[in-house]
Structure 1
């Protein structure tokens, strides 16, 4: 896919107003793309939700796919801003050849950062639905490409390296990768399959208290598994 051309931006004193308009369009689009999917969400409805006229979408994003890309970039930037501190701490542990307890703590530090990002209570737009549709396939590939390059690949890279040190397996060993995804799957199910998990638990929502409960449970389980795998490494 060709790199989109540089779009027009407001001049001089119009930057603040233009950035606010752009933000409103992206928020409206994330919400409607999440609820209706790329095909189901019309540019007319997105413009109406954002409170702008339809030509504004073309002015800022060129076309519908350009808007979808901007939505993915916005989510990726916000996600990485939340995750980067834990990733940098983990890389520092790896660079100084930290011992097993430090490696385990670093892995759980990242896990908790991802959980914090997953369970944070949000108003519109609902990024959870956007993410679920993107993961389910059928949406423009550019969204997955942006999220993969800016968030998933750097996150996975440090996670498998931590697991490799902890378990004694190679970072590219399929078992290492499966273990990584299984550990994150503990709480991602509450993010992707929120309706069924809430029903089973008898909860109406995941508030701050319930989120802390889920994070604590998942982190405790993760520590047990990581310590067990480290003992197998040393056996």
Structure 2
């Protein structure tokens, strides 16, 4: 896929107007790519949805591939603003060899930030479908590469490192990774299968109160699991060196 062209700046004070037009095109394109897929969404339809003429897409993005890449980059930027700071805090806690309680809180902060992003954009059908199509492998592979390098890998690296430190396992241990993905999955189901989950809960929509109920329930479950894995680690270390006092040092509270 070709790299999207840089934004062409209008002269003499047209910067804000150009940025606004570009953003409007991206928002329209995310909706149409989500609804119809990369192949099904035409540049003409994107331009019409954005309220611009067709040549505007070429002016800002060169071609449909450029529009698509710009959509992925914009979604990655948006996601990183939401939970990037929580990842940075977790990395700092790991560097400082923080105790188990602090590591658990760091994990829950990341999960909460991801939840905020999921639910804040949860009513955007086009965005949900955009990610669903990309995850199903139906769209250009470059989307997965961008999202993996900028969002998914940093997120997985940080959270897997936290689970590893809490549970006493290696970060690349399959058990660590499965546990980590299962914790994330608690949120994913409400994003990719929103209609089904709402129906089974008997909810017609998801307001702020319902979102908080979901987040608090997931938060409690995550804390219970992380604390249990920590206890299992301590018990395993104690059993490995009975009576020697040479087991693994207990984690700081």
Q: TM-score range by the shorter chain?
A: over 0.9
1:122: how far off?
5.9
The residue correspondences of 1:5-84 to structure 2 (distance < 5 A) are 6=6, 8-84=8-84
Stretch of structure 1 that moved more, 212-221 or 4-13:
4-13
Equivalent positions of 1:127-206 (< 5 A) are 127-206=127-206
Structure 1 or 2, whichever has the larger Rg, is: 2
Q: Does structure 1 residue 213 correspond to structure 2 residue 213?
A: yes
CA distance in 2, matches of 1:123, 1:220: 25
1:4 Cα deviation after fit: 4.8
Moved more, 223-232 or 124-133: 124-133
CA distances 1:108-138 after superposition (whole Å, capped 9, x unpaired): 1100110111011566573222111111111
Length, aligned pairs only: 235
Q: 1:224 maps to which residue?
A: 224
CA contact (8 A) 1:9 1:60 kept: no
Task: Report the aligned-residue RMSD.
Answer: 1.5
Q: Deviations over 1:14-51 (max 9, x none)?
A: 21111111000000001111111111111111100000
Within 2, Cα distance between the matches of 1:219 and 1:153?
22
Q: Tell me, in whole angstroms, the C-alpha distance in 1 between the residues paired with 2:61 and 2:18.
A: 12
Distance 1:222 1:124, change over 3 A: closer
Corresponding residue of 1:102? 102
Separation in 2, partners of 1:3, 1:64: 11
Structure 1 stretches (4+) deviating beyond 4 angstroms? 1-7, 121-125
Unaligned runs of 5+ in 1: none
CA change 1:74–1:4 in 2 (3 A) is closer
How much does 1:5 deviate? 5.0
- Cα drift, residue 175 of structure 1: 1.0
What are the Cα deviations for residues 139-196 of structure 1, in whole angstroms up to 9, with x where unaligned? 0111111111111111111111111100011001111111111001012101101111
Please report how far the alpha carbon of residue 58 of structure 1 lies from its aligned counterpart in structure 2 after TM superposition.
Answer: 0.9
Unaligned runs of 5+ residues in structure 2 are: 236-253
What is the distance in 2 between the residues matched to 1:155 and 1:216?
A: 21
- Give the aligned partner of residue 116 of structure 1: 116
Tell me the SS of whatever aligns to 1:171: coil
Deviation (angstroms), 1:12:
3.9
Change (3 A) 1:212 1:23: same
1:91, CA displacement in angstroms? 1.2
Aligned partners of 2:119 and 2:3: how far apart in 1?
33
Mark the CA change 1:187 to 1:5 in structure 2 (over 3 Å): closer, same or farther: closer
Whether the 8 Å contact between 1:27 and 1:124 is mirrored in structure 2 is no
Distance in 1 of aligned mates of 2:12 and 2:164: 51
Q: What is the Cα deviation at residue 207 of structure 1?
A: 1.3
